[in-house]
Amino acid sequence: MIPAIETFELTKRYGAHQALHGLDLDVTPGAVFGLIGPNGAGKTTTLRILLDIIRPTSGTARILGTTPGEGGPALRRRIGYVPGELRLEGRLRGRQLLRHLAEISGPVPPGTIDRLADRLGVNLDRPVRALSKGNKQKLGLIQAFMHHPELLVLDEPTSGLDPLVQRTFLEMVREARDAGQTVLLSSHVLSEIQQTADEVAVLSGGRIVAQGRVDSLRLSSVRHVRAGVDGTSLALLRGDLEKLPGLSDIAVTGDEGGGIARLGAKVEGDIDPFVKLLARHRVVDLTVEEPDLEESVLQLYGSGSVEEATHV
């Protein structure tokens, strides 16, 4: 099977500054691939190379079986793109703009534009320049999805959208995958990746510092725990918890005179010492949340093992 996106040792330099360091990506057709990292990690630079907006300093990229430069307009019609900094201005009304873009992108099934507009909640009869940032972003999403492209390249696509519309967008991404479309989703809003992506590459300082299925990246050992224990001194419980390695954000509440004490904490690493400490008391309830992708990734950035993120 030919990858939908494939890069090999992709690099990009801006003068003395190197924005990408030998990027290798392999995106399976029909998958949602998340590209995540802090602002300035190199995500937008990567997407612009894939779309032939800028050229790499070295290395190669292939999109839907061809290089971006060789594919030209025919390749771009097979792609839906939402740029990270969407700028839409002018006197045209939303509907007129989308019809114009449809002439460029290729056939759009009848009724698709109105159906997407209703779903996202945007008025297409208003001039584009009069729309809010969020409503301009909705137009950007409509133009990317409306011609049912083989590949969707989405750079920070929910910027300016309210939470309800963000949920609608995530549904649209899942539906695109179910229809066999490939989605490359770049975001620093990690919950978006967590809810939609099949595979993730974590970018920091222009390098991939982690890659794999979302479930595998969630194995990083940061857990949130909450418990209720009965018949113990709050001071003693708090003292025991503070001595435990790997425990942070410790909170203990209750009545010093007795009754149930409530505790919460963040556990990093092996959870066994925490469980054994609780076993000394009468535990009335216990909740252990699975590791969170966002905290796992932030741990990577703060580990000191990767180069500080750039501003490209």
pLDDT in tens, 78-113: 999 999 888 887 789 999 999 999 988 888 999 999
Predicted pLDDT at 307 = 38
pLDDT in tens, 167-210: 999 999 999 999 999 999 998 777 788 889 999 998 888 999 88
Predicted pLDDT at 300 = 66
248 pLDDT more than 70:
yes
| CA-closest candidate to residue 32, choices 244, 236, 220, 213 | 213
Sign of CA dihedral 306, 307, 311, 312: negative
Mean pLDDT, range 266-285, rounded to an integer: 89
Predicted pLDDT at 257 = 66
308 pLDDT more than 70:
no
Q: How confident is the model at residue 301 (pLDDT cuts 50, 70, 90)?
A: low
Q: How far apart are the C-alpha atoms of 227 and 64, rounded to whole Å?
A: 51
Q: How confident is the model at residue 294 (pLDDT cuts 50, 70, 90)?
A: low
* Average pLDDT, rounded, for the chain: 87
Measured CA to CA in angstroms, residue 199 lies from 31, 216, 312 at distances of 8, 9, 24
Give one DSSP letter per residue of the chain, joined into a string.
---SEEEEEEEEEETTEEEEEEEEEEE-TT-EEEEE-STTSSHHHHHHHHTTSS--SEEEEEETTB-HHHHHHHHHTTEEEE-SS----SS-BHHHHHHHHHHHH----TTHHHHHHHHHT--TTSBGGGS-HHHHHHHHHHHHHTT--SEEEEESTTTT--HHHHHHHHHHHHHHHHTT-EEEEEES-HHHHHHH-SEEEEEETTEEEEEEEHHHHTTSSEEEEEEEEES--HHHHHHHHHTSTTEEEEEEES-TTSSEEEEEEEEES-SHHHHHHHTTSEEEEEEEEPPPHHHHHHHHHTTSSSPPP---
Mean pLDDT, range 37-60, rounded to an integer: 90
Beta-sheet strand order (sheet of 58-63): 17-27, 5-14, 58-63
Mean pLDDT, range 249-258, rounded to an integer: 83
| CA-closest candidate to residue 134, choices 76, 88, 79 | 88
Work out the percent of the chain whose per-residue pLDDT is above 90.
57
Q: How far apart are the C-alpha atoms of 129 and 90, rounded to whole Å?
A: 5
pLDDT in tens, 149-167: 999 999 999 988 998 999 9
293 pLDDT more than 80:
no
Q: How confident is the model at residue 298 (pLDDT cuts 50, 70, 90)?
A: low
- Residue 148, Ramachandran bin (φ over 0: left; ψ between -120 and 50: alpha; else beta): left
Give all domains of the chain, ordered by start, each with its CATH number: 5-78+149-217 (3.40.50.300), 222-290 (3.30.70.260)
The set of residues, in sequence order, having a beta carbon less than 8 Å from that of 122 and lying 6+ positions away, is: 94, 131, 135, 138, 139, 142
